[in-house]
Amino acid sequence: MNRSLTERARCLRLNAGLPKCFWAEAVSMACYLINRSPRASLGGKVVEEVWTGNAVDFSHLRIFGYPAYVHVPSDERSKLDAKSKKCIFPGYKKGVKGYKFWDPVDKKVVISRDAVFDEHSMLQQNQEKVQMKLEHIPAAATLDIIESSNLASDDYSTVHLYDYNLARDRERRTNVKAPTRLGFEDMVSFALNITSEDPTNFQGAITSQDRENWMGAMVEEMESLQKNQTWELARLSEGMKAIGCKWVYKRKPAVSEKEGEKFKARLVAKRFSQKKGINYDEIFSPVVRHTFIRAVLALVTTWDLHLEQMDVKIAFLHGDLEEQIYMQQPEGFSQPGHEHLVCRLKKSLYGLKQSPRQWYKRFDSYMIQIGYKSCEYDCCVYVKSLDDGSFIFLLLYVDDMLIVAKNLDDVVGLKALLSQEFDMKDLGAAKKILGMEIHRDRSSKKLWLSQQG
């Protein structure tokens, strides 16, 4: 739909010869026309006609951007002033029977039903412009057009205007090269960092100048997966097909001069080979709404609450799989003597379609287990009533968490419980969430949100 609006709006604006500042009116007009156009799926009928059962009246339609002479009421002019002013028609006003016009002299919008449209003169001018452009067509092309149309030489202008077809009669390219297609493996790396020099596959990593660093990153990833008991080696069941996996490499800039830049390797499942109903079903995973985040931040400011933030390491690896999924052994880390076996996944892995949903279900069950309740209006907001009558909130957005409470000890207690169950990273007082920088002045009870970075 976005492309349909863009293409039609471009044609409307260029046909009317209006500048780009009228792009909003052109898009609005394009949407207006699309909603009132016949559709093949409805048997050539308009949506409004099918919905109401009544025929649609098209008599009010006018050409976008064409001039019109709008009547000026007597109380707005003197005796010797013109009774009409020349305006431009940019579209329709919602909820009003009159037309919307743009007055180029007074630089304002005028709504009126009393107007005369001058479409014929503009159509004639457009035809003259087309004829002038087509007169620059090469002679060979002109002769081909005339011969194919079997018209006399005195019908030359008619041939130019109505028989020439740009898509049919233009010169064709002979040296056309097939476009370069990106496969899944290249696309994953391309999406992570377009301009980086990170390797795109395992062979590129072990042959690069930083092969020791990349190898260390892969070993660290494998140790994390084994510690989490993500899979076990097994024989491929009959009728099942093992999905592939891919190493994705990312070079992270140094946080400080002592640490230096970090090399990160992540094992990703090739989700494109999954089939619905076989190795995945539901994939939707909720996240906390932005409106609820702003509402909680307002409570934090008003009641002077503590606002802390935590992050879950390898969040998607904590989810338990419900489907039976087999995956090929990671390249470069096949078990010696067991190369014929495959990995039967016990827990979710990055790249799987259901990984976000399984992580949410695992976290949700744990929060309910430790006495929290999900909010009725947002299932990613968890609340618990404390003994002193106050509350503690936890807001979850995938692997980012905001914890809000009156007493800091309650926040520390919740952090300890989460760290026992999941691999967590304590970020301390909240500074940034979902691209929003948080600046707070507790003494004056003020909080600012900024997206300057």
Structural domains in the chain, sorted by start = 2-119 (no CATH), 122-169 (no CATH), 184-228+242-273 (no CATH), 290-313+348-450 (3.30.310)
What string of pLDDT tens digits covers the 453 residues of the chain?
A: 688 899 999 999 988 888 888 889 999 999 988 888 888 888 888 888 888 888 888 888 888 888 899 998 888 888 888 899 999 999 888 878 788 999 988 888 888 888 888 877 666 666 666 566 556 555 544 444 444 444 444 444 444 444 556 556 666 666 666 555 545 444 444 444 444 478 888 988 888 888 899 999 999 889 888 888 888 999 988 888 888 899 999 887 765 566 677 888 989 888 777 778 777 778 888 899 999 999 999 999 999 999 999 988 877 777 878 888 889 999 888 888 888 899 999 888 888 888 888 889 999 999 999 999 999 889 999 999 988 888 999 999 988 999 999 999 999 999 999 999 888 889 889 988 888 889 888 888 888 988 887
DSSP per-residue string spanning 223-250: HHHHHTT-EEEEPPPTT--PBPEEEEEE
Report the phi/psi class of residue 241: left, alpha or beta, with left for phi > 0 and alpha for psi in -120 to 50.
beta
In this structure, the number of other CB atoms found within 10 A of the CB of residue 305 comes to 23
CB 122 within 8 A of CB 129: no
How many residues can be counted in the chain?
453
CB 397 within 8 A of CB 379: no
Strands 373-374 and 400-405: what pairing? unpaired
CB 295 within 8 A of CB 353: no
Q: Facing residues of 384 across strands?
A: 392
Residues 229, 219, 420, 315: is their CA dihedral positive or negative? negative
Task: Sheet with 306-312: list strands edge to edge.
Answer: 373-374, 381-385, 391-397, 400-405, 306-312, 424-429
Q: Is 358 exposed, middle or buried (0-12, 13-18, 19+ CB in 10 A)?
A: buried
Q: Residue 107: helix, strand or coil by DSSP? A: coil
Rounded CA separation 207/199 (Å): 9
Task: Sheet with 326-327: list strands edge to edge.
Answer: 231-234, 342-345, 326-327
Q: What tokens does 436 get?
A: 């929003």
Q: Residue 128: helix, strand or coil by DSSP? A: helix
In this structure, the number of other CB atoms found within 10 A of the CB of residue 307 comes to 23
Strands 326-327 and 306-312: what pairing? unpaired
Residues 77, 82, 84, 87: is their CA dihedral positive or negative? negative
Interhelix angle 23-34/2-16, nearest 10 degrees: 120
Rounded CA separation 221/266 (Å): 6
Q: Residue 173: helix, strand or coil by DSSP? A: coil
Q: How far is CA 419 from CA 128, 305, 414, 422, in A?
A: 76, 22, 9, 5
Q: Is 207 exposed, middle or buried (0-12, 13-18, 19+ CB in 10 A)?
A: exposed
**Entry pTM:** 0.50
Rounded CA separation 298/21 (Å): 38
